[in-house]
Amino acid sequence: MLTETILEDEGWLALDLPALAERGAVSTLEHLGLSPETFEIAILGCDDDRIAELNGDFRGKPQPTNVLSWPEEDLAPETEGEPPDLPQPEEAPHFLGDIAIARETCLREAAEERIPAEEHVLHLVVHGVLHLLGYDHVRDGDATLMERREVEILGTLGLPDPYSRGRA
């Protein structure tokens, strides 16, 4: 199994975060030509209070956000708009990093967009896994590349382009 999911907020049980996390992470790695069996990712299903605490501790922004990622290694490219050098581990399992997802924020955003919560969670998992792999959206060229990858991966899952609705 690629993902290990820790549920601090039991409300995640109704959405089956472990299954959504595995599906989104596997789809992301496979789309990028990586073997999911070679990697591990830890996913924390938490509430808004916990993610606000994490956001404050690690980003200096003590407010809730939808998803946070902590890559095990920095894979980001130096040149804007270039894809990252994806890991090619010699030993398995290779730990990619940690992702935290806040349930209340996810549910609120999904309701605002009038989309199924599961669809939004899948998008956030894909987004988080791409961050672990060195994708980012700080520079314009990198954001364009990351969004394109997200849309491609979500398409393989049968989901529409989330950016055509204006959400991130």
pLDDT digits 0-9 by tens, 30-82? 999 999 999 999 999 999 999 999 999 999 999 999 999 999 999 999 999 99
pLDDT (tens digit, 9 = 90+) per residue, 5-15?
999 999 999 99
Whole-angstrom distance, CA of residue 151 vs CA of residue 154: 5
pLDDT at 166: 53
84-95: average pLDDT: 91
Residue 128 in domain: yes
pLDDT (tens digit, 9 = 90+) per residue, 96-113?
999 999 999 999 999 999
- Count the neighbouring beta carbons within 10 Å of the beta carbon of residue 34: 19
**Does the CA dihedral 59-62-66-68 come out positive or negative?**
positive
What's the domain range around 58? 3-160
Residue 167 in domain: no
| Annotated binding-site residue numbers | 127, 131, 137
**pTM across the whole model:** 0.95
CATH number (domain holding residue 43): 3.40.390.30
| % the chain with pLDDT above 70 | 98
Residue 140 in domain: yes
Residue 165 in domain: no
Domain count, the chain: 1
Residue with the two structure tokens 């998008």: 123
| Annotated binding-site residue numbers for Zn(2+) | 127, 131, 137
Whole-angstrom distance, CA of residue 155 vs CA of residue 168: 16
Q: How confident is the model at residue 167 (pLDDT cuts 50, 70, 90)?
A: very low
pLDDT (tens digit, 9 = 90+) per residue, 136-146?
999 999 999 99
Residue 105 in domain: yes
Residue 104 in domain: yes
Residue 58 in domain: yes
- Residue 23, token pair as written in the block: 């599906």
Residue 168 in domain: no
Residue with the two structure tokens 């399992």: 93
| % the chain with pLDDT above 90 | 93
